[in-house]
Structure 1
Amino acid sequence: MLWRVPPETAPTRGPKQRSSVDAVVAAAVRIADADGIAALTMRAVATELGLTPMATYTYVPGKAELIDLMLDAVYRDMPRAELSGMSWRERVATIAAENRELLAGHPWVAYLPTTRPPLGPGLAAKYDHELRAFEGLGLTDVDMDAALTYVLGFVNAVARIAIDTERAAADSALTDRQWWERAAPVLERVFDAERYPLAARVGAAAGGAHDAAYSAHHAYEFGLARVVDGLARLIEKR
């Protein structure tokens, strides 16, 4: 199904279908983007397409298979920059930015397990494109794969914190600044700055710089620079 190759036993005749696998996947992606993966059900997809719930199973066997198809579809459709002519540092920064944009647009992707990804054309295109960031640097094939995993793991971790921060703000109806303003009077009464001097000093500096407890943008920019610096040491050895 990922590669849209019909099974050998597929019937050659039958009633004309009202929808398609691609339409079912697109509807499922819209639901997950809007309301999260928890809102995704075969019934919800059927309602989105104007089908009966049982009719959706004629296109996709179940929710697990549907999620695999969704993930491969967003991988297939994500924009990919032309990496030729860039330095390796620029290439790494570019693939990191592409994945950050993907996760911002499809937050549910950040929470899916990746140890057994859907082996479809979307994943193949994404993987081939991203490996080019490390091509020609003297790395072994295994090191190229590991370097890519390292970069994507960092991007995913920061993206999840950013997503959680946005959800917390939406659920509480409070911005980070408002949340801190509400918590500050209590903290002033119970927090002992002399007992925790580093926490007091550094926390105040970071809070003042970010106007919040955490800045996903700063964490991304700071962390990506450290990731690239770490890779530079490996690459320079080659």
Structure 2
Amino acid sequence: MAKDSGTGLPPGVETAWGLRERPGKGPRPGLSVSRIVDAAVDLANAEGLPAVSMGRVASALGVSTMSLYRYVSSKDELLVLMQEAAYGLPPEGPAPEEGWRVALAHWARAQRDVLYGNLWILRIPIASPPTTPHALAWMERGLVCLRGTGLEEGEKLQVILLVSGFVRNEAMLAADLESTSRASGRTAQETMAAYTGLLGRLADPQRFPEINEVLKSGAMTEEGPPDGEFAFGLERLLDGIEVLIRSRNAPGR
């Protein structure tokens, strides 16, 4: 069993920072925290977060469930470590001369790539602000994007929370659609076509004239670029942030 270091931090956070003692050689010398976490991530990606349990992970590794507890104290600790592993370190951003807007868009898309590759992350409740090494590295990278913009430090923090919230919400919608499609046996496009047909039957033109205009336009069923909706939303968000930055750098302020 991992020894408590006495820091007062949750076990998963302690482990991420390397603050918890781990067992030496045992009956399963090939077992390690990283192998356990990798197996759990593979299971979550294959079957979804509900499939992840200490028993299932142990089975995937060919060991007893109790042997896992020598390395990971609980499922809660395992979930923290799974998120830390899935996010990894943020990629290097564009060159500073490309500006804050290009840098922040790159940061947002990098987060989106992580979430789309690990949709199970979205099923883990956010229990606290970022405290693990990789989570802080992503926060640092986001703040670096806004260096030299003239925003106050609190405003920079609010901006990266706003952008990351947008990314998470967009990915959550994608995860929900994927879940619905999987349950119904339809593709996402077939699910949307069925929804559009349902709206056409339910939305009386007299009561819902604007919805009917949208339906007539075909906007809900036409296929645009793969990430067109995300790009549109992100650009509008960046437009608003640009207005804020300009106001902070206005002459005489």
1:14 Cα deviation after fit: 6.3
Counterpart residue identity of residue 4, structure 1: G
What is aligned with 1:2?
A: 16
Name the aligned partner's letter for residue 42 of structure 2.
R
Amino acid at match of 1:209: A
Q: Is 2:49 aligned against 1:19?
A: no
Does residue 211 (structure 1) correspond to residue 221 (structure 2)? The answer is yes
Give distance in 1, aligned partners of 2:223 and 2:206: 21
Instruction: State the AA in 1 paired with 2:84.
Output: D
Distance change >3 Å, CA 118–CA 236, structure 1 → 2 = closer
CA RMSD of aligned residues (A): 2.7
Note the C-alpha offset of 1:227: 0.6
- Closer/same/farther in 2, CA of residues 111 and 86 from structure 1, 3 Å limit: farther
Instruction: Note the C-alpha offset of 1:129.
Output: 1.4
Structure with greater contact order relative to length (CA < 8 Å, sep ≥ 6)? 1
Q: Which amino acid aligns with 2:118?
A: H
Which of 48, 61, 67 aligns to 2:60? It is 48
1:24–1:13: structure 2 CA closer, same or farther, 3 Å change rule?
A: closer
| Cα distance, 1:183–1:30 mapped onto 2, change above 3 Å | closer
Q: Does the Cα contact within 8 Å between 1:69 and 1:118 map onto a contact in 2? A: no
When residues 191 and 12 of structure 1 are mapped into structure 2, their CA distance, relative to the original with a 3 A threshold, is: closer
Counterpart-to-counterpart distance in 1, 2:84 and 2:202? 50
Shift in alpha-carbon separation, 1:105–1:78, aligned structure 2, 3 A: farther
CA distance in 1, matches of 2:247, 2:147: 15
| Unmatched runs of 5 consecutive residues or more in structure 1 | none
Q: Is this contact kept in 2: 1:80–1:98, CA < 8 A?
A: no
| Residue-pair matches, total | 234
Greater displacement, 158-167 / 144-153: 158-167
Tell me if structure 1 keeps the 8 A contact 2:32–2:71: yes
CA contact (8 A) 2:203 2:211 kept: no
Distance change (3 Å), C-alpha of 1:138 and 1:17: same
The structure carrying a bigger helix percent of its residues is 1
Residue of structure 1 equivalent to 2:166: 154
1:237 CA drift (Å): 1.5
Q: Which moved more, 1:36-45 or 1:162-171?
A: 162-171
Name the residue aligned to 1:231: 241
Could you tell me which of 170, 173, 195 is aligned with 2:207? Answer: 195
* Displacement of 1:97: 0.5
Name 1:92's counterpart in structure 2.
Answer: 104
Q: For residues 13 and 112 of structure 1, do their structure 2 counterparts lie closer, same or farther at Cα, with a shift above 3 Å needed?
A: closer
Q: Distance in 1 between matches of 2:23 and 2:201?
A: 73
CA contact (8 A) 2:192 2:221 kept: no
Aligned to 2:75: 63
AA in 2 matched with 1:86 = E
Describe the shift of the 1:94–1:230 C-alpha distance in structure 2 as closer, same or farther (beyond 3 A): same
Deviation at 1:56, TM superposition (A): 0.5
Q: TM-score, normalised by structure 2?
A: 0.81
**C-alpha contact (below 8 Å) 1:28/1:70 kept by paired residues:** yes
Q: What is the DSSP-based 3-state SS (H/G/I as helix, E as strand, rest coil) of the residue aligned with 1:192?
A: coil
Alignment CA distance shift 1:182-1:73 (3 Å): closer
TM-fit CA distance, 1:113:
3.0
Select the residue among 51, 57, 75 that pairs with 2:87: 75
In the alignment, the residues of structure 2 paired with residue 185 and residue 37 of structure 1 have an alpha-carbon distance, to the nearest angstrom, of 32
Q: 1:220 aligns with which of 202, 221, 230?
A: 230
Stretch of structure 1 that moved more, 100-109 or 192-201: 192-201
